Amino acid sequence: MRFWDVLSGLASILALGAFTYLVVRNAQRPSVVIVSLGAVRADALSSWDALSPAIPPGPLAPTLAHLCHVGICFSQAYSNAPYPRAANATVLTGQLSAVHSVRGPLDRLSPSWPQLAELFAASGYDTGAIVGSYEVDGVFGFRGFATFDARFVEPIVDSARDPLPVPPLVFHDWGFAHSARLSKLVANARKPDEWTTESALGFLAVHWRRPFFLWVQYFGASPLGSSEGPVLISADRYAERVRELDRQLKRLLDGVVELGLDPNLWLFVHGEAGFALFEHGEYGVAASLYEPSVRVPLIVVPPRSLAHALGARSIDTPVSLLDVAPTVARVAHLPVRVPWPSEGLDDLWEGSAKNLDSERVIPLENYWTATMAGSKEMPGPAGHRQRLGERLRGVRKGRWKYLLRERSPLIDVRLPIADWWDREMPREELYDLFNDPMERHDLAGARPEDCALLRQALPPTARSGGSQ
């Protein structure tokens, strides 16, 4: 046999060995999909037929309910900041606003903290983001995605008058920035959920051979607006929008199974924020820190190869979106050491955590109420009216939920704080969620010691600056 024939055969053997090594290595590395659901409340997993005769009986979101039967369902899950961009920033960084810097409609993610997609990319994963809303467009600092589908074709507001007449905080060409932002809102600020599903299935069809990290964000039941403010919808219309989103989630999951990805794929499904339907006189997303605004679905479905070992279960320990990033990094075996502030979720289903019902602290924050869109217009002592902002912070620990309202300057418009508002702030609230899940009875006045202890666990206030 000639020398070149031997060399060619050896090269073929080495190439086959390298290919086999890559196949084996990739097969051992799980893929991860995070699905973010716009404005879906935690009680979408239950029946809403008592609210309206127009709502069919049974779970509002049957696909989500099914996932709870095959995966790990966290029945007491919270969105730490119930505003889409802030919530997803927390999921992808494992941090609160004080670190990732997102508070309101103009804020971008801080470049100083690593995001999950960057960690996956550094470990050789294919990365992709399919987003359904301008709220989480890549221009706001979501990084690390080799593919970022932010193609939008439908409006979020239906008028040529900007419902958020605020100046830009980074670019100072006010006219252009204002017009560009307004053009997005009234023309192409979201995509239909079925298009989001199509794009996500397209990504999976291309990247199924290699380990991948995919983030899919649905617009879902997120509120629409007009020049006069939010477009109010009834409970039955909200329910139907959630059902429409749930049908798209089923299409996505059916595609995962058809492609044969489920044996080696971790699936995380979460709500970004709840949706207040006037339970406390408030409406929509980011209205408050009460349960309808901050309680969301959170379900983890392990790979089919691990499903028997882990089993389906429901975990009642309070958790939050802050727990997602460290959990994702651990189940994917990413070789990173990031000082995340949360415990993660995996110790709960592995049974290694102890006394977490009483010890686990869930920080809550809401800066939307300190923006032009979320602030309140109040009459002053001289008869003039002024928009006044509130900063809301809170803590869920065990049976207790503590809330603190503090006056705040608007974070997107520079207006002075009215002196006459001092008498209204700050205000504390305390609720026993075991006996009062609807938060009807404020116990702050009767239990000042508990308020003092919980006040020490409040999330830090976010630093100012940085925006779109």
Tens-level pLDDT at each residue, the chain (468 residues)? 554 554 455 444 444 443 333 333 444 799 999 999 999 999 988 877 656 666 777 788 999 999 999 999 999 999 999 999 999 999 999 999 999 999 988 889 999 899 999 999 999 999 999 999 999 999 999 999 999 999 999 998 876 555 555 555 555 555 555 566 677 788 889 999 999 999 999 999 999 999 999 999 999 999 887 655 667 888 889 999 999 999 999 999 999 999 999 999 999 999 999 999 989 988 889 989 999 999 999 999 999 888 777 777 899 999 999 999 999 999 999 998 888 999 899 888 877 554 445 678 999 999 998 887 888 777 766 667 777 888 999 999 999 999 999 988 888 777 666 665 565 667 999 999 999 999 999 999 999 999 999 999 999 987 654 433
Amino acid identity at 12: S
pTM: 0.88
pLDDT of 185: 81
pLDDT of 467: 39
Domain limits, the chain? 18-359, 361-455
Q: Is the dihedral of CA 298, 213, 210, 198 positive or negative?
A: positive
pLDDT of 111: 92
Rounded to 10 degrees, the C-alpha dihedral 188/189/195/198 comes to 110
pLDDT of 468: 39
Per-residue b or e along 432-455, where b marks 16 or more CB atoms closer than 10 Å to that residue's CB:
bbeeeeebeeebbeeeeebbeebe
pLDDT of 14: 41
pLDDT of 18: 37
pLDDT of 231: 74
Residue 55's Cβ-side half-sphere holds a number of Cα atoms within 13 Å equal to 23
pLDDT of 168: 57
- Residue in the block written with tokens 């020398």: 3
Instruction: Kindly give the residue spans of alpha helices, DSSP state H, lying in 168-313.
Output: 174-187, 193-207, 235-258, 291-294, 304-310
pLDDT of 146: 98
Tens digits of residue pLDDT in 250-270: 999 999 999 999 999 999 999
Over its C-alpha atoms, the chain yields an Rg (Å, rounded) of 24
Q: Is the dihedral of CA 117, 122, 128, 133 positive or negative?
A: positive
Which CATH number, 1.20.120, 3.30.1120, 2.60.40, 2.40.160, labels domain 361-455?
3.30.1120
Going by the DSSP 8-state scheme, the letter that residue 189 receives in this structure is S
- CATH entry 3.40.720.10 includes domain 18-359: yes
User: Residue 90 belongs to what H/E stretch?
Assistant: helix 84-93
443 neighbors 434 (Cβ within 8 angstroms): no
User: Residue 147 belongs to what H/E stretch?
Assistant: strand 147-149
Q: Which of 214, 166, 157, 220 is nearest to 189 (CA)?
A: 157
